[in-house]
């Protein structure tokens, strides 16, 4: 395998892709985030938590994240891993497999958004494990969800948190964007 210089570091080259292990500000492992919150809870709490695929970001995502951030001090986004997105959104005939954007890139873009304070990637189908560990003060989902059908609701309540459903201001979705592109 060849290596090339990248900002003064020798990075392995694999085909046309660089294998780069870069720390991205705002993207945490679960353990790192858990430690950060425990070491300075006054800087983090009240924590607002939401989760999703966030495959191709659009204005609906941005407005949703802004509204969520307004509910607390920090906004933590649980991001579905590539593998969990594939399980949640199986490939449909005539459409590309999901996710379109790889998890590390989705995490980096989310972390760069002004309302987002932390992003943590998770491999499970639901964010129940993350919620049980992080114990957010407020769990947020879009208004297109219902409390009765949220699999994470029992974990939020068990951790002493509240659940808030935010009205969808801009009805859009990655699936709709992909379908529109394919029609061009």
Structural domain spans, the chain = 24-183
Residue 107 pLDDT > 80: yes
CA 183 vs CA 94, 100, 133: distances in Å: 11, 17, 43
User: Residue 181: its pLDDT value, please?
Assistant: 85
User: Residue 67: its pLDDT value, please?
Assistant: 97
Hey, is 31 helix, strand or coil?
helix
Q: Please tell me the distance from the alpha carbon of residue 162 to that of residue 159, in angstroms, as a whole number.
A: 9
CATH architecture under which domain 24-183 falls: 3-Layer(aba) Sandwich (3.40)
Q: Please tell me the distance from the alpha carbon of residue 127 to that of residue 130, in angstroms, as a whole number.
A: 5
For residues 68 and 140, is the Cβ–Cβ distance under 8 A?
yes
Mean pLDDT confidence for 18-36 = 79
pLDDT-derived band at 135 (thresholds 50, 70, 90) equals very high
Residue 57 pLDDT > 50: yes
For residues 98 and 86, is the Cβ–Cβ distance under 8 A?
yes
Q: Please tell me the distance from the alpha carbon of residue 116 to that of residue 68, in angstroms, as a whole number.
A: 9
For residues 156 and 90, is the Cβ–Cβ distance under 8 A?
no
Q: What is the pTM of this model?
A: 0.85
Q: Which residue has the higher pLDDT, 181 or 130?
A: 130
Residue 110 pLDDT > 70: yes
């Amino acid at each position: 395998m060849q290596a090339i210089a990248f900002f003064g570091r020798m990075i392995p080259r694999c085909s046309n892709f660089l294998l780069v292990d870069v720390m991205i500000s705002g993207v945490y492992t679960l353990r790192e985030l858990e430690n950060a919150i425990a070491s300075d809870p006054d800087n983090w709490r009240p924590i607002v938590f939401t989760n999703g695929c966030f495959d191709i970001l659009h204005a609906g995502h941005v407005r949703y994240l802004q509204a969520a951030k307004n509910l607390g001090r920090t906004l933590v986004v649980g991001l579905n891993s590539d593998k969990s997105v594939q399980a949640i959104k199986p490939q449909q005939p005539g459409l590309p497999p999901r996710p379109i954007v790889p998890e590390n890139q989705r995490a980096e873009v989310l972390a760069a958004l002004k309302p987002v304070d932390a992003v943590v990637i998770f491999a499970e189908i639901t964010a129940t494990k993350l919620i049980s560990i992080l114990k957010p003060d407020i769990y947020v989902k879009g208004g297109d969800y219902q409390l009765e059908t949220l699999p994470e609701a029992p974990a939020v309540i068990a951790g002493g948190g509240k659940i808030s459903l935010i009205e969808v201001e801009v009805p859009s979705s990655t699936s709709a964007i992909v379908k529109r592109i394919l029609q061009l």
